[in-house]
Every structure is written in C-alpha cells, then in structure tokens.
Structure 1
Amino acid sequence: MPEILEASLSKRDQAFLVAAFAAAAYATPMGSGSWGSSSTGYGSATWTTSTTTTTSSGSYSSSTSASASVVPNPVPSSGVVAELLTADSTVDRFKDIQKEIAAGDVSLKFDFNPAANPAAPVGMGGQVDLANRANFPILTDLGISAAGIFFKPCGLNTPHIHPRASEFLTLVTDNNLLTGFVLENGLTSEFNTTLTKFQGTVFPMGSIHFQQNLDCTDAVAIAGLNHEDPGASSLAQNFIINLDVDVVDAALGFPKQIDGSNFAAFKANIPGSLAKGVEECLVRCNIPY
C-alpha cells in the first residue's frame, strides 16, 4: 500500500493514527466510559473496559482494567506567559519559570492522562489533551507543543486545521487507524495512509486533516506540533454552525435538502470533536448511533 494517495482503496481497508511520546500515552489506561471519573475527585481514577462484540466476521473481545493515582496538571498563574514572552533573555525566562515551579504553579512535566486534564472537552468519540504554552508555560518561546489523543472505539477526530503548526502523529497502541489530509487549492487529492503501533505520519500546516480509529477497542496517540500555540479550527463545526447561514447556504450551492426550514435541526446534530465515528465502524463494532 503506498504511503500517499491511497484514495483508490476502500477506507475500511485503511487504518490510522498518531504522534510521538509513546511512553506517556501508552502507560495511560483507557476505558470506554468517562475518562478521569473518580469517586474521590481527580486525585485517583479507575478505568475498566470489558467488551465483546459479534459481527458477521467474528467476535472482537477486549478487556482493560487499571488503577492510577492522578494529580491534575497545575494551573499557571494569570499573566505568566506574557511575562515569560517579555523576559530580557532566555536565562531570565527560565529563572522566572523556576520561581513558578517553586510556587507550585508550573511543573517540569505534563501529564497527558485524561484524569489530569479535567478542563479538556470530552466528545462522544474521545478527547484531546493539548500541552501548549498556556497550560504548560515552559514551552514559551520553544516553538513546540504536543497533544495526547484518546480515541474510543470508532472515534473520529473530525476534519480540522492547525493555523500555526505542522503536525507529526504516532500511534502508540495496537490499533488500526486511518489518517488523511487535503493540502490546499491546486492540489485537492486526499492523502491517506494506514498506521499501526508505533508508526507515524505528518499533516502540513494549514492542511485539512482527520484521524479515524477503525477498531472496536480504544486507541491512544500523541501528536507533536512545531508551535507552542498551534491553534485548531474544526471545519464542520465552524463552517456550518458558526458562519452566517446565508453564506453557508450559498457556499453549499443552495442545497434543497438543507434549507431554512431544517437548517437549525441540521446544525444541532453536528457533533463536537472527537465524534462517535463513521457508520461502517459503528455497525461493525455494534455501537448504537
């Protein structure tokens, strides 16, 4: 299978996923329930997953259980990034970081564990825990950031762009995941590739890209990005939900099946990212939708 332009192959034959700090993410247990939930708050958490799915091609079984004591990542004090950006030198900046570490407002490590990131939005198909300069200020002026991506079975990281960063993604669990991107006007062919455990791929800055867990088990990946504030714009959500309805209608060619009478209901059904997944995977894994 070629590494690019595999669009001629069926998507169900392709696989995916992401990014680069395998040890941290691979050690993070995942469950198909609510990640990071705990009877004692975010200081401890237990995940248990036990799934048996029967399809026309056979049965898929998975069982994962783990217990972890998790401390949320510290919340930086207000204005600390602005101070670091205006430090006179790199040495001065790291002296300020030392002070923040001593005060307990900044750490030298970032925990991608979902339970350590209670503020991260959780979608029906999983969640993304991003370490950027806002929540991990030591990244300030280093030109890098990273994200832990936690996919539930069939979970889809919906098409999006990063306006300020290219991305390198590595799959760190034993899964099959599909990735794809479209570069820009002038080259609109979709670049697809299939990743398995410890394989990686890239998404150029500004390209429309996605990741799809094709398996009936959870998947974990890490993404490295070459900007400390990479940004993200989810296309379906921002285009259809947030733009002027008349502009969207014109851009779509005035479709008759989606018009003023049903557009509000159409918008209401667009999921946040990560979405539940594509229909073929949901049917194969016996996931209601």
Structure 2
Amino acid sequence: MKSVHVPLAFVLFALASSLASAYDPSPLQDFCVAINDPTLGIFVNGKFCKDPNHATPDDFFFTGLNIPRDTNNQVGSNVTLLNVDQIPGLNTIGISLARIDYAPNGGENPPHTHPRASEILFVQEGTLYVGFVTSNPNNTLFSKILYPGDVFVFPIGMIHFQVNIAKTAAVAFAGLSSQNPGVITIANAVFGSTPPINPYALARAFQLDVDVVEDLQARFGTKD
C-alpha cells in the first residue's frame, strides 16, 4: 500500500501546483501596493511593492467611474479598465474592474478573450445580447439577452462578446479574476497584427478570397 501512496501524493501535488499557477498568486500579507520605482520596493509578480508603512488610502482608490465614456468609434463601445496600473493596491489581490459603455443600436464590445481571467458582467442600463463560445471541437454558443440587474459569467479564456440591441445607450460593469486580465480582440489580432499575417494563410483558415482578407487587413490598419 505504501508504494501506491507515494505516486498519489506526487499526482496531488502536481495537480495543486498546476491549479495554483493558473491564476494570480494569493497574497501572503495584507497588501502589496505596486510602485514603479525599484529603489523604493521589492519586485513581486511583475510589479515592485511599496513599503507598507508608506501606503495611503489613495493607493486603493479611483474616482470617476460614474462618468459616461465616448462611444463614437468603429465598434460603438468604450471599455474603462481599472487594473493594477490604475489602482496600485490591486497588486497581488487578483481582481480588476471594468466599465463598458455601449452606443445605441448595436454598440458592441466585439468578440475577445481574457487570457488570465474569468469575467462576471452586471448590466446597469440598457439591453445587451451577450455570449461566449466554448473551445474545440464543439464551439457551442452560450448566449442570453440581459436587462438591467442581470448578471452573466464568461469563463476564463472563452471568446465572448456583448451587443447593445436597444435604441438607448447601455452601461455594464465587469469584475475580472486578475489584477491584469489582458485582452485579445479577435478581429484586431488576426487582421491587424504587426507585421501582418500572410493573407494566403488567413484566406485558407477563414475560407475567404485573398482579396477579401487583404481588404480586412487594410481596414484594421496593417501595413506591409
């Protein structure tokens, strides 16, 4: 029986280690306020930490998230992300917050993914069509129409989107399970990379004519 316990212990340890490394590290102190000056702190997970004795309430504070943002752009939305760069006190805590403003009649937070965070979305104003798509091979769409007071969850890494289907502006707030969740907007990444991806490769992948791919790359601003 002892010979079984040893390998099992290693398996459990490996599993615990892999789960622990999938998310932001848990803090081992009250807080670790991020600071950009290396002479005034110690380096922890991408940021230097301020001496706790020098921390102030402003390190944990942000104001103005109630102010509507400009949605006069190509996609008709504006995301205001509050991560560790805006609120230094978020460092090592593993959370962030975003306000999303949507223009009327189709303002969209286009398909994107957060490589380091799950997301929970709360609708404050408007009517949103939202959803996410699961990984291969099923690529199943999970979608809902949300109204004020509704909440929807997007699992980590899943491609997801939100579209305002009402005639009035919409506002939502999102909590994310990382101090720096990252974002990959699918169309921008694929058709707007620098340098551009060879259009013949994209034509095969998307089953499009090469001239269509080149037009899309031109729209997203890539240059040879």
Whether TM-score is above 0.5 comes out as: yes
Give the partner amino acid of 1:156. Answer: E
1:165-176 aligned within 5 A? 165-173=117-125, 175-176=126-127
| Residues 1:224 and 2:175 aligned together | yes
Deviations 1:38-84 (A, max 9, x none): xxxxxxxxxxxxxxxxxxxxxxxxxxxxxxxxxxxxxx97447x946
Unaligned runs of 5+ in 1: 1-75, 272-289
Kindly indicate whether the alpha-carbon contact (under 8 Å) linking 1:84 and 1:140 is maintained by their aligned counterparts in 2. no
Within the candidate set 204, 208, 216, 1:250 is matched to 204
The residue matched to 1:149 in structure 2 has which SS? strand
In the superposition, relative to structure 1, how do residues 213 and 78 fare at CA in structure 2: closer, same or farther (>3 Å)?
same
Kindly indicate whether the alpha-carbon contact (under 8 Å) linking 1:110 and 1:136 is maintained by their aligned counterparts in 2. no
1:97 is matched with which residue? 55
Tell me the distance in 1 between the aligned counterparts of 2:77 and 2:37: 31
Give me the TM-score of the superposition, normalised by structure 1: 0.54
Tell me the distance in 2 between the aligned counterparts of 1:85 and 1:111: 30
Identity across matched positions, percent: 29
Tell me the distance in 2 between the aligned counterparts of 1:83 and 1:184: 41
Kindly indicate whether the alpha-carbon contact (under 8 Å) linking 1:160 and 1:210 is maintained by their aligned counterparts in 2. yes
In the superposition, relative to structure 1, how do residues 227 and 189 fare at CA in structure 2: closer, same or farther (>3 Å)?
same
2:108 is matched with which residue? 156
Shift of 1:171: 0.2
2:153 is matched with which residue? 202
Kindly indicate whether the alpha-carbon contact (under 8 Å) linking 2:202 and 2:213 is maintained by their aligned counterparts in 1. no
Shift of 1:121: 9.3
- The number of residues matched between the two structures is 179
The residue matched to 1:180 in structure 2 has which SS? strand
Unaligned runs of 5+ in 2: 1-33
1:132 is matched with which residue? 83
Give the partner amino acid of 1:178. Answer: Y
Larger Rg: 2
2:73 is matched with which residue? 123
1:181 is matched with which residue? 132
Structure 1's consecutive aligned runs of 4 or more residues displaced over 4 angstroms after TM superposition are: none
In the superposition, relative to structure 1, how do residues 108 and 85 fare at CA in structure 2: closer, same or farther (>3 Å)?
farther
Structure ranking higher on relative contact order (CA contacts 8 Å, 6+ apart)? 1
